Amino acid sequence: MSAKSGQESLAINGGTPLRTEPFTTWPVHGEAEAKAVMDVANSGKWWRCAYSADELEEKEEGQIEGRSRVEAFEEQFAKAHKAKYAIAVTNGTCALEIALRAIGILPGDEVITTPYTFIATSKCIMNQLAVPVYTDIDPTNYNMDADQIEDLITPKTKAILPVHFSGNLCDMDKINAIAKKHNLKVIEDAAHAHGVEYKGKQFAGTLGDIGCFSFQESKNVACGEGGMILTNNKEYYDLCYSLHHLGRLPGELWYKHFHLAWNYRMTEFTAAIGLVQLSRLFEQNELREKNYQHLMNGLSQLPGIRVCQNNPDMTKHSHHLQMLMYNSEEVGGIHRDQFVDSLNAEGIPALTGYTFPNYANPFMTSEETGARYTAASISFPDYSEYAKKCPITERACYDESIWLEHRLMLGTTKDMDDIIAGFSKVIQAYQG
């Protein structure tokens, strides 16, 4: 077949798509979610504060009926992740903001993190007028390059904020050792890492000082919006609880507020859905793992595709995203974006991922943002410099990364075979 006729076979050029059936949609939901929401609606108790102290005291472990769903969700999420304490909040972004405030981040402090993440990771730092400092990412897995952290530490550095991107654990042994050596706190952004197990005994979100999860619609536990804070430290728990509750303290007057804080309380409706979603999590993660093995066996054989390396300390993965690295040189010089458009036309849903590194978003270099820091006499870094400092991140965003969503791995073996066949068809067509 000539190169031209190969490309003519592609659906993007008018050929027949490889697949027209839909893949599994997300969120997976059913009668259980609907009943959970209706039960809350019919109870007339729509926020956690509708439950009196007496009712809270009468609860039994695992009990849901007759008690605050928010409290039950906290208890069950903590238990599932072997954490001592949990606080349910309105989203993952505010979970991170609370965590940073709780460890004492002040304006002008520096927090070392990754630029290859959702913007919330940087915004939670900047919303406190603190300064994100970025490592580049590891080319084998797109997590923060822990080997670069020490060189970035200054007297202003107060914390490290690793993101378990795609659900793949960061090198927490290295990160925690550096934090200990330099007296830094560690906040884990575990927004992608529900049920991710470390060395068979601990979970993502409990490996640093405080861990933060998101339940936004795309996440492996989906509530539309929502978040959870985990910690094993009672002082942080008490402070985070107060910070999400307008600075109130238990046993004190309702209108007496002890901290500069927010109202980030989760609703009973959100928690009711969260409880059902959580009950599905580990079984779904097992199915994702099974399909992932089959999918990666196939995709790793193909030219132009490199599969992400998993952290060997990880004994359970969430597969929130399956990361692939694309090399156009092996696929006839076709750019990643055209390659992904071609896959989509074949009926294979693939994504190109983050459009920009965090530091390249317009607000990072805007006058408006700069003015806030200047008003507080904090020198504002020139984030346009980071493009030179983070070549792997640049490559990932603009040329290399391909994401497959976790919902795809909730399908059948045939679904996985179709994905492999779709990649294979497009690669062969462009190779000529």
Residue 255 CB, shortest distance to ligand PLP, in Å, is 29
User: 126 or 334, CB closer to ligand PLP?
Assistant: 126
DSSP secondary structure letters along 122-176: HHHHHTTT-EEEE--B-TTT-SB-GGGHHHH--TTEEEEE-B-GGGPPP-HHHHH
Residue 297 CB, shortest distance to ligand PLP, in Å, is 28
Residue 298 CB, shortest distance to ligand PLP, in Å, is 27
Residue 213 CB, shortest distance to ligand PLP, in Å, is 8
User: 134 or 423, CB closer to ligand PLP?
Assistant: 134
Half-sphere exposure of 205 (CA within 13 A, CB side): 32
d(CA 90, CA 254): 21
H or E stretch at 412: none
User: 72 or 99, CB closer to ligand PLP?
Assistant: 99
User: 192 or 280, CB closer to ligand PLP?
Assistant: 192
DSSP secondary structure letters along 346-381: TT---B---SS-GGGSGGGG-HHHHHHHHHTT-PPP
Q: Are 260 and 247 in contact (CB under 8 A)?
A: yes
Say which residue the tokens 């202003």 belong to. Answer: 156
User: 123 or 245, CB closer to ligand PLP?
Assistant: 123
d(CA 19, CA 6): 18
Classify residue 312 by burial, with Cβ atoms within 10 Å: 0-12, 13-18, 19+. Answer: exposed
Q: Which residue is nearest to ligand PLP (CB)?
A: 92
Helix boundaries (H) for 233-349: 234-243, 268-299, 336-345
Residue 126 CB, shortest distance to ligand PLP, in Å, is 14
User: 163 or 331, CB closer to ligand PLP?
Assistant: 163
Residue 212 CB, shortest distance to ligand PLP, in Å, is 7
Residue 97 CB, shortest distance to ligand PLP, in Å, is 10
- Number of C-beta neighbours around residue 44 at 10 A: 7
Residue 117 CB, shortest distance to ligand PLP, in Å, is 5
**Closest to 87 measured CA to CA, from 192, 220, 206, 244:** 244
User: 196 or 345, CB closer to ligand PLP?
Assistant: 196
Say which residue the tokens 């599994």 belong to. Answer: 24
The pair of three-digit structure tokens given for residue 292, joined into one six-digit string? 């992932």
User: 223 or 427, CB closer to ligand PLP?
Assistant: 223
Residue 95 CB, shortest distance to ligand PLP, in Å, is 8
3-state DSSP call for residue 331? coil
The pair of three-digit structure tokens given for residue 291, joined into one six-digit string? 């399909």
d(CA 78, CA 97): 20
User: 109 or 188, CB closer to ligand PLP?
Assistant: 188
Interface residues with ligand PLP (CB under 6 A)? 91-93, 117-118, 120-121, 163, 189, 191-192, 214, 216, 227
